[in-house]
Structure 1
Amino acid sequence: MRIVDVVTVPGRTGFFADDQAAIRAAALHDGFGYVGEPLTPGFLRIRQPGESLSVLLVLGDGSVVFGDCAAVQYSGAGGRDPVFSADAAAAIVAAHVTPLLIDRELTAFREVADEIEGVRILGTPLHTAIRYGVSQALLAAVAQGRRVTMAEVIRDEYSTGIDIASVPLYAQTGDDRHGNAEKMIVKTVDVLPHALINAVDGKLGQDGEVLEAYLAWLVSRIEALRPTPDYSPRIHIDTYGTVGLIFDGDVERAADYLAGLGRLVAPYPLTVEHPIDAGSRDAQIETYVALRRALAARASTVKLAVDEWCNTLDDIRAFVDAGAADVIHVKTPDLGGIGQSIEALLLVREAGYEAYCGGTCNETDRSAQVSAHVAMACGATQVLAKPGMGVDEGLMIVGNEMARTEALIASRLIRK
């Protein structure tokens, strides 16, 4: 399939870009926004509308495929690329990507995706969001040319040996951690609720008491609202390093607290994402190894999920090699091209850890659909329902895409 034109157009994302440093420094809510000055370079406000850039490939048969460039909500934090500008990205794509693709005959995804991953501008890689969106479009183009699903292209080119099937959905509440959690329970979401514990005051509590009360409430609502007696979700919360803040980074005290949370939510299994932010990749690995050891010493079944400081394929390999987490969040926009996410998920899975195909609320419907194919083809243990913070939309987009893909592949097998 030949590429005859590359068209870009700025668009919206499903949420906002937020300055995590300013929020952790106790910026005050002002309605939906925040009061104060941003602290992270590139931000004009603490909360600003997310931007995307659609990259459309016009193919030789007249068909059009596309991918969406988008970055995570907390851009510029934890070693990530800066906040994304669609206009700036459009100029970069025109100057450095389009010349590589025009008149290109696409016969495979992996080779050209790796080529885009290797592009440098004055020695610097393309912004992760650009690599993310362009690679989505390339995968869609190859799938179009072969008349198969994107998941099948991944399975075949990466020799995954995995039967393509829907994987458990993980939904996030945003700040509406009560109403949205109840939606998840009624809709029997597999993994919930995320809960956005990104500040101490009002979300965690100076002694962790606010989160304890929330989790007790959550368990009571699962018991009260679950549609069937056998509904038993996994509980996964993201604490954005705030546990480390209230315990001054003390691993033993943090382990006591996390183990207590595990007992509180029993019999439901608990995963805690990013309890401590150690400030660098090496320090994060060292801290997580110690925290896992401390939890094991307490006979706790609480699992640790890594997010910040684990942004690239090399980062993920380092965490896996050190045994520094139970769950590896492969945050698709952070890795750049989706080929990197594919390799990361397969690496984690092969090592025997839980491979979480995640992302951010600040993506688009298209990037979420492509992520669904990646998760299915790589046998992820869970996939984020994205974008947005409304629950219903993300569940619909990712869940329906997985269902359609699985049904289409099954139908094709029956016809053979």
Structure 2
Amino acid sequence: MQIKDVLLAPGCGAFFYDDQAAIRSGRIQDGFMYVGAPITPGFTSIRVPASSLSIGLVLTDDAVVWGDMMNVQYSGAGGRDPLFDTNKISDLASRVVAPRLLDVDASRFRDSCTKVLESVEHRRLPLAVEYGVSQALLRAAAHLQRKTMAEIICTEFGLLLPTRRVPIYCQSGDAREINVDKMILKGVDVLPHGLINSRQKFGAAGQTFMEFVKWVATRTRKIGRPGYHPVLHFDVYGWIGQEIGLEPQLIADFICGVADTVPGYTLNIESPADFGSTQAQIENYAQIVSILDNRDSSARIVVDERCNTLEDIRLFAEAKATHLVQIKTPDVGSIADTARAVLICKENKVGAYVGGSCTETDLSAQASVHVSVATQADMMLAKPGMGVDEAFSIVGNEQNRLLAMLNRRRDQNENVGLKHGVACRTLLRGSLS
């Protein structure tokens, strides 16, 4: 077969793994550190440098294609896989995954993913493994077929070559004001995330958060170019529910109040509350969505927590329990499932946001761009890391390069079709004469 060897290389994610439970409990920040003991199992401190593991597939022509495995920033929270352990993942990849990779047709992306990522003793492989291995297999299929990764996705899922640019969403991290200015000056489509992950940042009754929302809108008008009008997107990590209460009506009232302070803007509110389980999240989010829709509010709900796997995404989309799904790529697992997730959202007329985590790498970010563009997602995250410049450059440049290649491919196909049509007409005239 086309894969003759498998390489493993330890690496660094672009940010840190954070103990969300400890941060929510009120741990104090000391510079970049959090003070106190961790709560979530697996964490030795509240903030841990993100690790990753690269898997390289050595093909028969000696080309090596790579994919990167890692978990998300808030590992072990909201039903997610536990903290990434490089040694355990490396051992599993060597024992289980590598032998499977040597026995597949790597030119067939979906088939090879299905075979390589089969369960072990009725247990699904860690989602980080699915994510990294599927990236490598997507690159292998693209290399073997001399196509872009996006074209492989289009072929395998029966999609037309895309033409539309996917809007890019940047996240600010804790350096909110400086990074908001960077986003505005660079004309980012969707901003700023805000990292509203503590009571201090949300404020009593949400007052601090509301002031920040108004400041972002004001700053956009003040320093943005003429006509610049981004979508405002804030991740509140469940703090509306924690501070206002877990009552859908109260949460919807609060969100409408925030939207009223920034008239004329589309306002995305991600993770307004955590109701404790996927089913409870679906039921209560559906009520919030219904209330906002009935009021014709400019605010939209974005689901993240409790909506991790492909099946979770299907349940939320079918129940209309969100306006927009964050398809958190490392939590979904196989990147083929990210493509499926976007298509499920589209089938159910729910927005699809191909997200991910600041803990990712340049390789996983670039692969995500190809899936986002191929499936024509509604927006995609600038990643990895918490800085604006690097992530926006990696994702934005990859998208522009990809669209240039796809435009050329489309022109080539049209020229081939035109020549074929001329040849057919010539042959037809010859047969008639």
Alignment of 1:2-401 (within 5 A): 2-120=2-120, 122-161=121-160, 163-201=162-200, 203-227=201-225, 229-401=226-398
Higher mean Cα deviation, 295-304 or 170-179?
295-304
- Paired residue secondary structure (1:178): helix
- Paired residue secondary structure (1:72): coil
Aligned residue type for 2:71: A
Mapped contact 2:107–2:142 kept (Cα < 8 A): no
Q: In 2, distance between residues paired with 1:2 and 1:269? A: 48
* 1:290-309 CA-partner distances (Å, limit 9, x unpaired): 11122234332210000011
* 1:172-211 CA-partner distances (Å, limit 9, x unpaired): 001111110110000000000010111112x111211001
Aligned residue type for 1:216: K
* 1:368-412 CA-partner distances (Å, limit 9, x unpaired): 000000100011000000000111111000111111111112123
Q: In 2, distance between residues paired with 1:162 and 1:82? A: 37
Higher mean Cα deviation, 298-307 or 66-75?
298-307
Q: In 2, distance between residues paired with 1:197 and 1:180? A: 14
Aligned residue type for 1:355: A
* 1:199-253 CA-partner distances (Å, limit 9, x unpaired): 112x1112110011111111111011112x1111001111100000011212222
Mapped contact 1:305–1:326 kept (Cα < 8 A): yes
Hey, what does 1:408 align to over in structure 2?
405
Q: In 2, distance between residues paired with 1:43 and 1:138? A: 31
Mapped contact 1:170–1:192 kept (Cα < 8 A): yes
Aligned residue type for 1:102: L
Aligned residue type for 2:64: V
Q: In 2, distance between residues paired with 1:160 and 1:21? A: 41
Mapped contact 1:67–1:134 kept (Cα < 8 A): yes
- Paired residue secondary structure (2:49): strand
Matched-pair identity in % = 45
Higher mean Cα deviation, 278-287 or 257-266?
257-266
Aligned residue type for 1:187: K
Question: Structure 1 unaligned runs (5+)?
Answer: none
- Paired residue secondary structure (2:196): coil
Q: In 2, distance between residues paired with 1:293 and 1:384? A: 26
* 1:149-181 CA-partner distances (Å, limit 9, x unpaired): 000000000112352543000000011111101
Q: In 2, distance between residues paired with 1:21 and 1:128? A: 21
- Paired residue secondary structure (1:328): strand
Higher mean Cα deviation, 286-295 or 103-112?
103-112
Q: In 2, distance between residues paired with 1:310 and 1:166? A: 26
* 1:297-332 CA-partner distances (Å, limit 9, x unpaired): 433221000001100111011111111000011111
Q: In 2, distance between residues paired with 1:165 and 1:91? A: 41
How many matched pairs? 413
Mapped contact 1:113–1:337 kept (Cα < 8 A): yes
Q: In 2, distance between residues paired with 1:288 and 1:97? A: 38
Q: In 2, distance between residues paired with 1:325 and 1:232? A: 23
Q: In 1, distance between residues paired with 2:361 and 2:272? A: 27
Q: In 2, distance between residues paired with 1:314 and 1:339? A: 13
Mapped contact 1:151–1:164 kept (Cα < 8 A): no
Q: In 2, distance between residues paired with 1:168 and 1:115? A: 34
- Paired residue secondary structure (2:55): strand
Aligned residue type for 1:40: T
Q: In 1, distance between residues paired with 2:334 and 2:163? A: 21
Aligned residue type for 2:145: R
Mapped contact 2:107–2:140 kept (Cα < 8 A): no
Aligned residue type for 2:214: A
Hey, what does 2:419 align to over in structure 1?
none
Q: In 2, distance between residues paired with 1:301 and 1:165? A: 24
How far the C-alpha of 1:103 sits from its partner, in A, is 5.0
- Paired residue secondary structure (1:125): coil
How far the C-alpha of 1:124 sits from its partner, in A, is 1.9
Cα RMSD after superposing both structures: 1.2
Mapped contact 1:160–1:346 kept (Cα < 8 A): no
Q: In 1, distance between residues paired with 2:256 and 2:80? A: 30
Q: In 2, distance between residues paired with 1:181 and 1:96? A: 45
- Paired residue secondary structure (2:116): helix
> So what's the TM-score if we normalise by structure 2?
0.93
How far the C-alpha of 1:271 sits from its partner, in A, is 0.7
Q: In 2, distance between residues paired with 1:106 and 1:255? A: 48
- Paired residue secondary structure (1:71): coil
Q: In 2, distance between residues paired with 1:240 and 1:406? A: 34
1:110 and 1:264, CA in 2 relative to 1: closer, same or farther beyond 3 A? same
Q: In 2, distance between residues paired with 1:258 and 1:103? A: 52
